[in-house]
Amino acid sequence: MLQKADKSLSTIERAISFLVPRSALQSRFARAENILTISILSVMVLLPIIEVVGRGFFGRGISGSIPLVQHLTLWVALAGAALSSRSNRHLALSTQSLLPERFESAARLITSMLAFGILSCLFSASVDLVLIERQAGDIVAWGIPRWLFLLALPIGFGSITVRIFLNAPDIPGGRVIVLSGLLIPIIFGYWEPLLDMNLVAPLGLIILVATLLGMPIFAAIAGTALLLFFYDFTPANVIPGETYRLSSSAMLPSIPLFALGGYILAEGGSSRRLMRLFSAFVGWIPGGLAIVTTCVLAFFTPLTGASGITILSMGGLLLPVLIGSRYPEKNSIGLVTASGSIGLLFFPSLPVILYGYYANQPIDQLFVGGLVPGILLVAVVSSWAAYRGWRQGARPTPFNHREARLALWEAKWELMLPVVVLGGLLTGFVTLVEASALTVFYALFAECVVHQELSIKKDLPDVFIECATLVGGFMIILSVALGLTQYFILAEIPTRALDWVNAHIESPIIFLLALNVLLIIVGALMDIYSAIVVFVPLIYPMAASYGIDPIHLGIIFLVNMELGYLTPPMGVSLFLSSFRFNKPLGEIYRSTLPYTLILFLVMLLITYVPVLSLGLIEWVGLR
């Protein structure tokens, strides 16, 4: 019987294989994706730069350029998400790696089938939305109709759906089982008795289990939103409709552009030059190399999306240097892992920008408010690491005036970047999006023209694609989370949660303590971008009812998320470090424990001493 079933599945798979693009066609499609993504990012950089130049020299920019950049953000999000699907790099919990090997394929099969069904629903809903908008005939700019920009939704969701199918586990009947996920939109679309059954809890539990088994987080959020809207008698096209809100923000285009600027610097020789600079100036201090490591990683964390990517890109460079200078391996691994997210509060951190957007708070105040807490976090981490290294006999490097001067001169372009960008922002010469485009232009000039570390033809295309893949990986979460947030608003969940909290917690001190506990758990289980989208609308009114300053709340939130990177069992930096250094997770847990405890104490200090977050804002006159 089983042999007949396997034979039937094999026959179906052979039939399906005729519908699957051949490798040559897949290669051409991948090349077209690359060209499209690079072109979109290039236009997003050029239009704001032209706007700044035109305004500065001719008194006016290009009419309609800003709305175009905003709408191209939608294309970047979906194109980048498709690239993430192509390389199987969507953000997901890493619990699948904890399963016994014999269960991994089964877990992948289940999660792929469910994700395929959910994405099929989103594709269908996106097509419906495009058809509606086409009838409306609204124009964005330059005579381009809105529905053309909305095509990013069905194209993006459709591409991801196909990739889920193509990446099905390589086991007998794998693709057939994944394809059976089409039953989800069919049943929910045509089987009316489902509306009479209260299946929200059991189906929600299935989504939760699939998420724990490794289903992409964006698919879990989208599936939850689809389920809730279905039983609320709301059309599914509300979710891609909310996704379109990515195009209405004057701030969100800065996210992919700042990330691109950071990637260009990271892929060039900036890390080497900064390593030399910090080593020259503080390497002579006992334990100075630990301080250097923390500072370099803190510098690059906000430039690479605060995603922990610095552990992957720079961990291999820094760890051997630390061990070679007699720093204990365990402490060195803990230092690199903890420092991989240590600069989250510094400019131009994408989570800070995203928090400002969702909490409707000034971005400049958030960055200024995060400066003292950020420096404090760097100081305590580097001090502990330096102390441990000094106790173990780590070798400092003698201070050399000539080397310090040469290192300072070599790193002048990196050091001038924050001055140029922040100067433009604080003087009002450029907007946030224009500042992000200026960052990309500055990085390109520094790495391709001045230092000539990157080749425009050979290196930049890969940098653009890698950046888009990272950005798409979290912006797709942001886009579908907008739909879930909209359901929360319609269901008045923030108001109900606020009433419950006010009824049970009277003291602001107790509220802040409860908030810290909640956010640490959230940070350990969710990525920072989806946590911002889902939880900020919930906690913001609660904190306001206790008189907590919204900027202070933002710093508390972000520091807790930073701690979540290191919180077992799901902290993302723990898994990245385990992967990068080829160490068991248990060993990574132990190596990071002292740093986690230190950061926890500093987090409490930041929470209960508001002047750390607000003092500098008032001193510089931003309030």
pLDDT score of 288? 79
Residue 18 pLDDT exceeds 80: no
Mean pLDDT of the chain: 81
pLDDT score of 12? 47
% residues pLDDT > 90 (the chain): 11
pLDDT one-digit tens code per residue, 460-487: 898 899 888 877 877 787 788 778 877 8
pLDDT score of 525? 66
pLDDT one-digit tens code per residue, 270-322: 777 877 887 788 777 777 788 888 888 887 777 665 556 667 666 666 777 77
Residue 162 pLDDT exceeds 80: yes
pLDDT one-digit tens code per residue, 510-562: 889 888 888 887 777 666 777 787 788 888 888 888 889 999 999 999 998 88
What's the rounded Cα separation, in Å, for the pair 394 and 385? 11
Peptide linkage before 100 cis (omega within 30 of 0): no
This prediction has a pTM of: 0.76
What's the rounded Cα separation, in Å, for the pair 336 and 34? 32
* Structure-token pair, residue 288: 């100075």
What's the rounded Cα separation, in Å, for the pair 231 and 200? 8
pLDDT score of 96? 61
Model confidence at 9, pLDDT cuts 50, 70, 90, reads very low
Model confidence at 621, pLDDT cuts 50, 70, 90, reads confident
Kindly list the distances between the CA atom of residue 254 and the CA atoms of 45, 268, 432, 531, in Å, as whole numbers in the listed order.
Answer: 10, 21, 6, 20
pLDDT score of 611? 93
pLDDT one-digit tens code per residue, 84-124: 888 777 767 666 666 666 677 788 888 889 999 999 999 99
- Count how many Cα atoms sit within 13 Å of the Cα of residue 326 in the half-sphere of its side chain: 13
Helix, strand, or coil (residue 145): strand
User: Which has the higher per-residue pLDDT, 579 or 358?
Assistant: 358
% residues pLDDT > 70 (the chain): 88
